[in-house]
Structure 1
């Protein structure tokens, strides 16, 4: 059974590579070439960092620290 901590740990690397994957799809298909100028690679890393920070400040760990 998939628990919340397992899902969060699985989501972190998926989010981290999502920016690179999106940029690769844009390059391969040639669609949306204007998006190539956008910094898509760091977006995935920032999303992963945001998930970690959100879990630290509002997840079960923070709730246990309050109580």
Structure 2
């Protein structure tokens, strides 16, 4: 059965790679090449880090700590 911890663990690497995938898609299509100057790769890593912090601060781990 697929539960919340499994989904969170699966989402972390997907989010981390999303910035690189987005940048590659922009480069391959040639549309919006001005966006290539934007730092898209770190955006994925920051999104993954934000997910981890959100899970620690308001997720089940935080609920267990308060009980």
TM-score bucket (shorter structure): over 0.9
Q: Specify every segment of 5 or more residues in structure 1 that has no aligned partner in the other structure, as ranges.
A: none
The answer to whether the aligner puts 1:12 opposite 2:17 as a matched pair is: no
SS of the residue 2:18 aligns to: helix
Q: Please report the TM-score for the alignment, with normalisation by the length of structure 2.
A: 0.99
Instruction: After the TM superposition, list the runs of 4 or more consecutive aligned residues in structure 1 that deviate by more than 4 angstroms.
Output: none
> Shift in Å at residue 29 of structure 1?
0.5
After superposition, the C-alpha distances for 1:1-40 in whole angstroms (9 at most, x for unaligned) are 2100000000000000000000000000001101000000
Work out the CA distance in 2 between the residues paired with 1:5 and 1:61: 10
- Backbone CA RMSD of aligned residues: 0.3
Partner of 1:62: 62
Q: How does 1:1-67 map to 2 (within 5 A)?
A: 1-67=1-67
